[in-house]
Amino acid sequence: MSTPPVAVVGVGQTHHKSRRLDVSFGGLVREAVFRALEDAQMTLADIDAVVLGKAPDLFEGVMKPELYLSDALGAVGKPMFRVHTAGSVGGTTAIVAASHVQAGKHKTVLAVAFEKQSEGNAQFALGSGKGASLGAGGAFAPFIRAYIQRSGAPEHIGWKVAVKDRLNALKNPYAHLKIEDISIEKVKASPMMWEPIRFLESCPSSDGACAVVITDAAGANAAAADGRPPAWILSASSRSEPPSFPGRDPVRPAAALQCAADVYAAAGITDPRRQIDTAELYVPFSWLEPIWLEAFGLADEGEGWKLVDDGTTELGGSLPVNPSGGVLSSNPIGASGLLRFAEAANQVRGAAGEHQVDGAKVAIGMAYGANNQYFSTWAVGSSLHPFG
């Protein structure tokens, strides 16, 4: 890469819950920010610029909340930037923050994303206040039906992903859903919401925030010398495609394939299935796991479900996917993408705690948005040259 290397040196997140009634907007984001700063052994004074991401302002009824949150985020006298790329926004927030450092404009940048869904109602906002909102499940169910038919995947694949991610969530102190007795039977018995998607195959609606500190090579090397391993950002890409036209394939979207190709080429990844140790993929409905495994080249076309079926994507498998519990376990929408990127970073920092993938050296974080149109991905490594 021609750009100077940059790295993640701090990660923080809130405890995600359906209702964080104990905090204000500012309180919620600050909880994540101070954890990230503590992790980076920094204070707000060390931050040169702040990038804020969140999903539509209609979710909370606060327009351009970066204005209100400027002082809460300690951004007074600094650049305060607001990104919004639908569901992928958290990922794009991290990428734009990294771009601030890569361009040589700033040394240390804070990426923050949040959603406080309890203030409003997501279905309302997704339908722009009109009746008969499809909701995200209604929008994605046809894609999933198409995937199942073309891959010939058996129906228990969706249930398996749902169980796996909830078991992983039990190892993540910040996760929203903690379903101790999660089982295939329980998922199978849960109500059908958007056929073929059952209730327990769906993400929750969460309040939560995530923050990531990104700094330059000098800062990252200093952290490393201090015994705090950084996550080096090997590559990143954001790609978008139009909502609809005859022939557009939302199951294997060209934007996803291109986003993966960008990231792998720039990171020197030629065999993603083997070179990537773990992936945090944006999976709000269980079937999206095999869909993204395929679109992101972690499985051959039509074969993604087999990696679910044979346990490859379990924690302990050879390619753990969403060891944090993923979006299926915590979904503060605007922050969900940044959480994927942050969890990927924590894996290669060896900082994922109980859900650490042993020896993870290279990880990807991925987020997507709208009707499978916006894709943001980064690859992070425990070193700048993880492949020697």
**Amino acid at the residue 371:** N
As a whole number of Å, the end-to-end CA separation of the chain is 15
To another protein, the closest distance from the beta carbon of 343 in angstroms equals 22
* CA distance linking residue 209 with residue 45, whole number of Å: 21
Q: How many residues in the shown chain lie near another protein by CB under 8 A? A: 115
What residues from 220 to 259 belong to the interface with another protein (CB under 8 A)? 237-251, 253-255, 258-259
Hunting for tokens 């503590």 — which residue is that? 38
Cβ-based nearer residue to another protein, 8 or 333: 333
Strand pairing partners for 213?
10, 110
CA dihedral of residues 80, 81, 86, 91 (deg, nearest 10) = -90
Please report, as residue ranges, which positions from 165 to 204 form the binding site for another protein (by CB under 8 A): 191-195
User: Which positions from 289 through 348 interact with another protein, judged by CB under 8 A?
Assistant: none
Which of 132/225 has CB closer to another protein? 132
Show contacts with another protein in window 126-145 (CB under 8 A).
126-135, 137-139, 141-143, 145
Q: Rounded to an integer, what distance in angstroms lies between the CA atom of residue 207 and that of residue 117? A: 5
Contacting residue, 5, 15, 18, 146, with another protein by CB under 8 A:
146
Q: Which residue has the tokens 């557009």?
A: 248
Show the tokens assigned to 27: 């309180």
Q: Which of residues 36-55 bind another protein (CB under 8 A)?
A: 44-45, 48
Q: Is 18 in the site for another protein (CB under 8 A)?
A: no
- Per the CB < 8 A criterion, the answer to whether 17 and 330 are in contact is no
Helix (H, G, I), strand (E, B) or coil at 60: coil
Within 55-84, the residues that bind another protein by CB under 8 A are 56-84
Nearer to another protein, 48 or 309 (CB): 48
Binding test (CB under 8 A) with another protein, winner from 16, 17, 35, 100: 100
As measured in angstroms, the least distance from the Cβ of 154 to another protein is: 17
Member of 11, 13, 14, 30 binding another protein (CB under 8 A): 30
- Smaller CB separation from another protein, 81 or 264: 81
- Do the Cβ atoms of 262 and 239 come closer than 8 Å? yes
Measured CA distances, 283 to 104, 120, 195, 200 (Å)? 34, 23, 17, 13
* Minimal distance, residue 12 CB to another protein, in Å: 15
Q: In whole angstroms, how large is the CA radius of gyration of the chain?
A: 19
124 binds another protein (CB under 8 A): yes
